[in-house]
Amino acid sequence: MSIAKVIEITASSPNSIEDAVKSGLKKAAETVKNIKGAWINETKAVTSADGTVTEWRVNMRVSFVVE
């Protein structure tokens, strides 16, 4: 029998949504083992006054198997 746990994290990137997700998962993997997947709950574009996207932010739930 295996048990999974879910944590919620927020990550950002000036480049893309995909890069924000990848960097968030990479950072989480430094302390969390057996990551199995992630659900992207929210996506936000931070903009400058002229409407240019300056940063992408994602809020995601990350699941991992508890040893």
| pLDDT, the chain, mean | 96
On whether the CB atoms of residues 21 and 38 are closer than 8 A, the answer is yes
Residue 63 predicted with pLDDT over 90: yes
Residue 67 predicted with pLDDT over 90: no
For residue 46, what are the contacts with CB-CB under 8 A and spacing of at least 6? 12, 53, 54, 55, 56, 57
Q: What is the pLDDT of residue 32?
A: 96
CATH code (residue 57): 3.30.1660.10
Q: What is the pTM of this model?
A: 0.88
Q: What is the pLDDT of residue 1?
A: 82
pLDDT in tens, 16-41: 999 999 999 999 999 999 999 999 99
Parent domain of 22 = 3-66
Q: Which two tokens stand for residue 34?
A: 């057996």
Task: Domain count for the chain, please give it.
Answer: 1
